[in-house]
Amino acid sequence: MLNIVAILGTANVNEGYKYVVDMDLEKYFDTVNQSKLVEVLSRTIKDGRVISLIHEYLRAGVIVRNSFEETEVGVPQGGPLSPILSNIMLNELDKELERRGHRFFRYADDLDDLLQKQKKRKARAKQYPPLYREKTVKIGELCLNNGVLVFSDEIHSDLIFKGYKHTPLGMLDERMNQNVITAYSASKTFNLAGLQTSAIIIANEEIRKKYINQLEINCVSGLNIFGTIALEAAYNHGEQYLNELLEYVQANVDYAIDYAKKNLKGVKVLKPQATYLVWIDFRATGLSADEIDALVIEKAKIAPDLGRWFGEEGAGFLRFNFACPRSTLEKALEQLKYAIDNIGVTSKELKR
């Protein structure tokens, strides 16, 4: 695994920090104080029904060696809710550490922030507008030369449009291949996210051992047998589906590009080389980033990904999901046109 401690020490040693502490909360999931967790949740969640439902989830009990055990403390593991609830509690710890003036990093996003502050390339596990080969190589070399392990999320790599070819970072150079964890999954392409199954490729034996060891520590070493079968079935028998899917999404993209040119003043749909997540540039509308977000979300009633989520450079851009029926896309574009045509008119006036 990536030695975050070493990076953190390098980043702050010139600022007078002398000590680095590597710390693990032993049996954390099993020891979360449920009453405290519910109290923290209640500060934000005002719907008592939701709080009651979460409390019932916490107290539902577990089966251990064919015997039922009550769960009066801790957070049940194995579902998507447990890490969310656990990290809500850890957020309280973060606040206390910040109050005491400590520097600390716990998440992959924190590492991104650190690299940004060091004025290095961002290594994010999110989908960006296409990066060309030479830029990808430079990012790989930058990470390699500075001891930064790369996690390459290839979850969209099956969704490559006709005429383009995708090459994973690990296949560009053997040196980089020894410094990358590559993750694949059928979840995006074949809509199998609920089965929570992926394929992880780690060429470096030492890193692979550390990765497996960390899985065992986190008690996530088991596989979903349904997910394994579904993944094999998707890749062995899903080629026709995938080809038809790509044709449909490509047609949606072409339709949106043409519609924007004819009807959406100041809006440009960027033609993607891959995936159903499409960037749209609103900067030529003359609106600020806040005004653009408000226009699309509040007036057009569309919920895209905000460009600023991916960095300051994303201001003025929004990311839309085009993996939908054409009728849904048409409705969204019509709503967007109506909102743009009525820029300057208040929401109350629009309702009239």
**Best mean pLDDT range from 38-52, 203-217, 255-269:** 255-269
What are the E-state strand segments in the chain? 62-64, 67-69, 150-153, 180-184, 199-202, 268-269, 277-281, 305-306, 317-321
pLDDT at residue 3, rounded to an integer:
42
CB 90 within 8 A of CB 23: no
3-state percent helix, strand, coil for the chain, nearest multiple of 5: 50, 10, 40
Q: Distance (Å, rounded) from C-alpha 179 to C-alpha 143? A: 8
Band of residue 66 on the pLDDT scale cut at 50, 70, 90: confident
How many Cα atoms occupy the beta-carbon half-sphere of 256 within 13 Å? 34
Three-state SS for 94? helix
- Read off the tokens for 257: 């590009």
Place of tokens 């923290």: 40
Tell me the average pLDDT of the chain. Answer: 81
Q: Left (φ > 0), alpha (ψ -120 to 50) or beta: where does 200 sit?
A: beta
How many Cα atoms occupy the beta-carbon half-sphere of 252 within 13 Å? 27
| In the predicted structure, residue 37 carries a pLDDT above the cut 60 | yes
Place of tokens 């053997």: 174
pLDDT at residue 287, rounded to an integer:
92
pLDDT at residue 2, rounded to an integer:
38
pLDDT at residue 160, rounded to an integer:
92
pLDDT at residue 57, rounded to an integer:
83
Widest CA span in the chain: 66
How many Cα atoms occupy the beta-carbon half-sphere of 222 within 13 Å? 7
| In the predicted structure, residue 339 carries a pLDDT above the cut 90 | yes
Residue 252: burial class (beta carbons within 10 Å; 0-12, 13-18, 19+): buried
Q: How do 150-153 and 180-184 pair as beta strands?
A: parallel
pLDDT at residue 252, rounded to an integer:
96
Residue 86: closest CA among 28, 35, 136: 28
| In the predicted structure, residue 183 carries a pLDDT above the cut 60 | yes
For the chain, give the number of residues: 352
CB 200 within 8 A of CB 1: no
Residue 75: closest CA among 88, 91, 66: 88
Percent above pLDDT 70 for the chain: 79
Provide the whole-model pTM.
Answer: 0.59
| In the predicted structure, residue 22 carries a pLDDT above the cut 80 | no
Band of residue 163 on the pLDDT scale cut at 50, 70, 90: confident
Least confident piece of the model among 139-143, 154-158, 238-242:
139-143
Residue 60: burial class (beta carbons within 10 Å; 0-12, 13-18, 19+): exposed
**DSSP 8-state assignment for residue 317:** E
How many Cα atoms occupy the beta-carbon half-sphere of 208 within 13 Å? 11
With a CB cutoff of 8 Å and minimum separation 6, the contacts of 55 are 34, 38
pLDDT at residue 223, rounded to an integer:
75
pLDDT digits (tens, 9 = 90+) for 293-324: 999 999 999 999 999 999 888 999 999 999 99
Percent above pLDDT 90 for the chain: 38
| In the predicted structure, residue 109 carries a pLDDT above the cut 70 | no
CB 261 within 8 A of CB 248: no
Phi, psi values for residue 324, rounded to 5°: -150, 165
